[in-house]
Structure 1
Amino acid sequence: MADPQSQAITMGVESSNPDFGPPPKATKNKYALGCALLACMSSVLLGYNAGVMSGAMIYIQRDLKISDVQKEVLGGIINVYSLLGSAIAGRTCDWVGRRYTIAMAGVIFFAGAFLMAFATNYAFLMVGLFVAGIGAGYGLMIAPVYSAEISPRSIRGFITSFTEVFSNLGVLLGYVSNYFFAKLATNLGWRFMMGVGAIPSVMLFVGGLVMPESPRWLVLQGKVGMARRILEKTSESLQEAQERLADIKEATGIPKDNHDEVVEVPKDRTGGKGAWREMFIHPTRAVLHITIAGIGLCFFQQASGIDSVVMYSPTIFGKAGIKSDSGKLLATISVGVTKTIFILVSTFYLDKFGRRILLLTSTAGLVCSLVGLGIGLTVIDQHPNEKLTGAIAFSFFCMLASVATFSMGLGPVAWVYSSEIFPMRLRALGSGLAVAMNRLISGVILMTFISLYKAITIGGAFFLFGGIAFVAFVFFFTLLPETRGRGLEEMEELFGTFCKWRSTVKELEEKKKLESEKEKKSDLA
Structure 2
Amino acid sequence: MTTNAVPKAPAPPRARRGAVLGASTIAALGGLLFGYDTGVISAALLYIAPEFALSDGMQQFVVASLLLGAIAGSIGAGPVVDRIGRKVTLIALSAVFTAGALLSALAPDTTTLVVARVLLGLAIGGSSLVVPTYIAEIAPPTLRGRLVSMNQLMITIGIFASYLVGYAFAESGGWRWMVGLAVVPSVIMLVGLFALSESPRWLLARGRTEEARQALLRSHSPEDAEASLAEMSEAMREENKFSYRDLLSPKLRPAVLLGFAVAATNQLVGVNAVIYYAPTILKQAGLGDSAAILSSVGIGAANMIFTMIALLFIDKVGRRPLLLGGTSVVILVLFGLGALYLLPSVQGLGLLLTAGLMLYEAAFAASLGLAIWLINSEVFPTAVRGKAAGVGTVTHWALDFVISISVLTLINALTPTGLFWIYGLLGVLGLVYLWRNLPETKNRTLEDIERSLRKGNQA
TM-score, shorter chain, exceeding 0.5: yes
Q: Distance in 2 between matches of 1:277 and 1:460?
A: 38
Cα deviations across residues 449-486 of structure 1 (Å, max 9, x unaligned)?
A: 00011111011100111111111110110111111111
Q: Distance in 1 between matches of 2:375 and 2:407?
A: 28
Q: Distance in 2 between matches of 1:240 and 1:40?
A: 25
Give the deviation of 1:208 after TM superposition.
2.1
**Residue 317 of structure 1 corresponds to which residue in structure 2?**
282
In 2, are the aligned partners of 1:103 and 1:207 still within 8 Å (CA)?
no
Give the deviation of 1:40 after TM superposition.
0.8
**Residue 218 of structure 1 corresponds to which residue in structure 2?**
203
Structure 1 residue ranges, 4+ long, deviating more than 6 angstroms after superposition: none
In 2, are the aligned partners of 1:419 and 1:431 still within 8 Å (CA)?
yes
Q: Secondary structure at the match of 2:405?
A: helix
Cα deviations across residues 345-387 of structure 1 (Å, max 9, x unaligned)?
A: 22111110111110001100101111111111332xxx4xx4x
Q: Distance in 2 between matches of 1:219 and 1:149?
A: 11
Q: Structure 1 pair 52/466, CA: closer, same or farther in 2 (3 Å)?
A: same
Q: Structure 1 pair 325/394, CA: closer, same or farther in 2 (3 Å)?
A: closer
**Residue 217 of structure 2 corresponds to which residue in structure 1?**
232
Cα deviations across residues 405-454 of structure 1 (Å, max 9, x unaligned)?
A: 00011101111111111001110101122111101111110110000111
In 2, are the aligned partners of 1:376 and 1:392 still within 8 Å (CA)?
no
After the TM superposition, which residues 162-201 of structure 1 pair with which residues of structure 2 at under 5 Å, given as runs? 162-184=150-172, 186=173, 189-201=174-186
Residue 448 of structure 1 pairs with residue 433 of structure 2: no
Higher relative contact order (CA 8 A, sep 6+): 2
**Residue 342 of structure 2 corresponds to which residue in structure 1?**
378
Q: Structure 1 pair 28/406, CA: closer, same or farther in 2 (3 Å)?
A: farther
Q: Secondary structure at the match of 1:312?
A: helix
Residue 247 of structure 1 pairs with residue 235 of structure 2: no
After the TM superposition, which residues 284-323 of structure 1 pair with which residues of structure 2 at under 5 Å, given as runs? 284=250, 286-322=251-287
Q: Distance in 1 between matches of 2:263 and 2:299?
A: 22
In 2, are the aligned partners of 1:354 and 1:483 still within 8 Å (CA)?
yes
Residue 139 of structure 1 pairs with residue 107 of structure 2: no
Give the deviation of 1:251 after TM superposition.
2.0
Q: Distance in 1 between matches of 2:325 and 2:271?
A: 16
> Residue type of the partner of 1:274?
F
**Residue 101 of structure 1 corresponds to which residue in structure 2?**
89
Give the deviation of 1:495 after TM superposition.
1.2
Residue 462 of structure 1 pairs with residue 436 of structure 2: no
In 2, are the aligned partners of 1:11 and 1:232 still within 8 Å (CA)?
no
Q: Choose from 412, 417, 430 the match for 2:370.
A: 412
Q: Choose from 271, 274, 280 the match for 2:242.
A: 274
After the TM superposition, which residues 435-514 of structure 1 pair with which residues of structure 2 at under 5 Å, given as runs? 435-498=393-456, 501-502=457-458, 505=459
- Tell which deviates more after alignment, 352-361 or 431-440: 431-440
Give the deviation of 1:392 after TM superposition.
4.2
In 2, are the aligned partners of 1:107 and 1:201 still within 8 Å (CA)?
yes
Give the deviation of 1:7 after TM superposition.
5.5
Q: Structure 1 pair 11/275, CA: closer, same or farther in 2 (3 Å)?
A: farther
RMSD: 2.0
Q: Distance in 2 between matches of 1:490 and 1:445?
A: 36
Gaps of 5+ in 2: 1-6
In 2, are the aligned partners of 1:90 and 1:428 still within 8 Å (CA)?
yes
> Residue type of the partner of 1:75?
V
> Residue type of the partner of 2:12?
M
Q: Distance in 2 between matches of 1:497 and 1:245?
A: 24
In 2, are the aligned partners of 1:378 and 1:458 still within 8 Å (CA)?
no
Gaps of 5+ in 1: 14-26, 255-267, 506-525
Q: Distance in 2 between matches of 1:377 and 1:76?
A: 26
**Residue 389 of structure 2 corresponds to which residue in structure 1?**
431
In 2, are the aligned partners of 1:77 and 1:447 still within 8 Å (CA)?
no
In 2, are the aligned partners of 1:350 and 1:358 still within 8 Å (CA)?
yes
Q: Distance in 2 between matches of 1:277 and 1:125?
A: 36
Q: Secondary structure at the match of 2:410?
A: helix
Q: Choose from 56, 61, 76 the match for 1:73.
A: 61
> Residue type of the partner of 1:209?
F
Q: Distance in 1 between matches of 2:103 and 2:367?
A: 35
Larger radius of gyration: 1
**Residue 510 of structure 1 corresponds to which residue in structure 2?**
none
Q: Distance in 2 between matches of 1:350 and 1:334?
A: 24
Q: Choose from 327, 338, 346 the match for 1:363.
A: 327
Q: Distance in 1 between matches of 2:342 and 2:230?
A: 58
Q: Distance in 2 between matches of 1:40 and 1:378?
A: 42
> Residue type of the partner of 1:346?
A
Q: Structure 1 pair 140/172, CA: closer, same or farther in 2 (3 Å)?
A: same
Cα deviations across residues 232-258 of structure 1 (Å, max 9, x unaligned)?
A: 1112x322211111111112229xxxx
In 1, are the aligned partners of 2:152 and 2:370 still within 8 Å (CA)?
yes
In 1, are the aligned partners of 2:299 and 2:354 still within 8 Å (CA)?
no
Residue 335 of structure 1 pairs with residue 299 of structure 2: yes
Give the deviation of 1:76 after TM superposition.
2.1
**Residue 103 of structure 2 corresponds to which residue in structure 1?**
115
Count of matched residue pairs: 454
